[in-house]
Amino acid sequence: MVSFFRIPLLLLALSLSVVSCKKDNLTAPVDNTSVPRTLGEFIENNYDLSLLHAALEKAGLIDTLKQAGAFTMYAPDNAAFNAVGIVRASDFDRMNTDSLRFILKYHIMKERYFVSTFPSQLDNQYKSLAGPDIYVSIGVSGISSGNEGRFVFVNGTMIMPDAKRNISMANGVLHILGRPLNYTQGSVQDYIAKDTSLTVFSALMKKFGYWDGLKTQKTITAFAPSNEAFGRYKITVDSIGRMTPERFQSIAFGIYTLQLHPAHIFSTDAFAISGMNSGFNEQNSISIDSIAIYPSYTYNNYYKREETAVYIKRKKGNGDWINNPYGPSTTNYYKGRVLNADHVAENGIVHIVDQLFINPALMLK
């Protein structure tokens, strides 16, 4: 039995260089509508957005953001680009221009949306300028008081607090993100097939009959262990070829695709629902038979950082929850959540994790 707390997209990896004229920073007044200043002009005159400006220029989009609009842009600042490995503007030269243009347009919506205008629920769907949907979720709690202080997540990525949100311009509004949005054109299967850190997982899904479902199912969430995670158990592409699927309980490897049941789960969803800062919460976990998966998230406002983990628990016959007896009680996202959580594809979401949830040797029939 599977239950979910709900059933409801290129990683930009690039960086900074230069400027000669005087530029703003992100402590600018929130409301700039009284001056004839556009989103494009604000971005090109802001130190903290110099990488975004370089990307928009390469993609030929900076002039779009100077047009009448209105637009809402979710803008990764320099720190967000740095977190995914971008250290200089010239890094954009290694990217395909069409792909760069697509993903940047994915960060833009038509019309003007302030935080308070989003309905209080998960997965509000909006068309991006690129075409595919963006998912905006509103948390039950806030960083500060009032509607504009609520936690807001775009594809699982938090809109930053205080002066970094609701930056209003003549032709729209800009919100700063702590990391670029991830979107892959194609299915969850296509994403996994292209990721060289998931070759063992791909082989496993094919061997155990889950591969086709990663393309054909309309809504999928996959927690995909990295090649390194399988290596700790000496599981390789070759050893998977020698496995006999009938010898294993279905949960042994079905757990990673939630046994192909419909699910659309971002890393921040449980936090958005509950407002809990840490730990395991049964009500908002994903239950597969007696095993529960709980993606935990909190934003530490004191240190200005995100804290994440994925909890795995087992429910005993008497209803009590205990630490996972078949593997780790907590796992992390492979090389960090910034890089490997919330990869959105056309039919779902992929999270790459750094450990197996279950030791396969303990799941033999």
DSSP-assigned letters across all residues of 340-351: HS-EEETTEEEE
- 147: in domain: yes
- pLDDT tens digit string along 43-54? 999 999 999 999
How far apart are alpha carbons 147 and 129 in whole angstroms? 26
- 199: in domain: yes
Confidence at residue 35, expressed as pLDDT on a 0 to 100 scale: 58
- 274: in domain: yes
Whether the pLDDT of residue 276 is over 80: the answer is no
Containing domain of residue 48, as a range?
39-177
Confidence at residue 34, expressed as pLDDT on a 0 to 100 scale: 52
Whether the pLDDT of residue 7 is over 50: the answer is no
Instruction: Name the DSSP letter for residue 159.
Output: B
Same structural domain, 152 and 192: no
Same structural domain, 222 and 154: no
Same structural domain, 67 and 193: no
How far apart are alpha carbons 138 and 342 in whole angstroms? 16
Range 65-69, long-range pairs (CB < 8 A, 24+ positions): 65/38, 65/39, 65/40, 65/108, 65/171, 65/172, 66/38, 66/39, 66/40, 66/41, 66/171, 67/38, 67/171, 68/171, 69/38, 69/39, 69/110, 69/112, 69/171, 69/172
Tokens describing residue 151: 């936690």
Query: Residue 70's CB: how many other CB atoms inside 10 A?
Result: 16
- 313: in domain: yes
Confidence at residue 143, expressed as pLDDT on a 0 to 100 scale: 78
Q: Residue 278: pLDDT band by 50, 70, 90 thresholds?
A: low
Confidence at residue 195, expressed as pLDDT on a 0 to 100 scale: 97
Q: What is the CATH number of the domain that holds 104?
A: 2.30.180.10
Same structural domain, 210 and 301: yes
Q: Residue 26: pLDDT band by 50, 70, 90 thresholds?
A: very low
Higher pLDDT, 35 or 26: 35
- pLDDT tens digit string along 142-154? 777 777 888 999 9
Same structural domain, 94 and 243: no
Average pLDDT, the chain: 88
- 26: in domain: no
Q: Which residues, 6+ apart, have CB-to-CB distance to 187 below 8 Å?
A: 214, 215, 345, 346, 347, 348
State the total domains in the chain: 2
Same structural domain, 99 and 149: yes
Domain boundary among 177, 201, 225: 177
- 77: in domain: yes
Burial of 86 (0-12, 13-18, 19+ CB in 10 A): buried
- 18: in domain: no
3-state secondary structure of 126: strand
Same structural domain, 240 and 139: no
Same structural domain, 262 and 319: yes
Same structural domain, 57 and 196: no
3-state secondary structure of 254: helix
3-state secondary structure of 104: helix
Same structural domain, 196 and 172: no
Domain boundary among 145, 177, 209: 177
- 28: in domain: no
Domain boundary among 157, 177, 197: 177
Same structural domain, 206 and 98: no
Same structural domain, 97 and 169: yes
Whether the pLDDT of residue 179 is over 80: the answer is yes
Whether the pLDDT of residue 305 is over 90: the answer is no
Q: Residue 302: pLDDT band by 50, 70, 90 thresholds?
A: confident
- ∠ CA 127-132-133, nearest 5°, is 50
Tell me the average pLDDT across 212-229.
97
Higher pLDDT, 27 or 196: 196
E-state strands within the chain: 2-3, 71-76, 108-110, 124-127, 133-142, 150-154, 157-158, 167-169, 172-177, 220-225, 286-288, 291-300, 305-315, 321-323, 330-331, 343-345, 348-353
How far apart are alpha carbons 16 and 56 in whole angstroms? 13
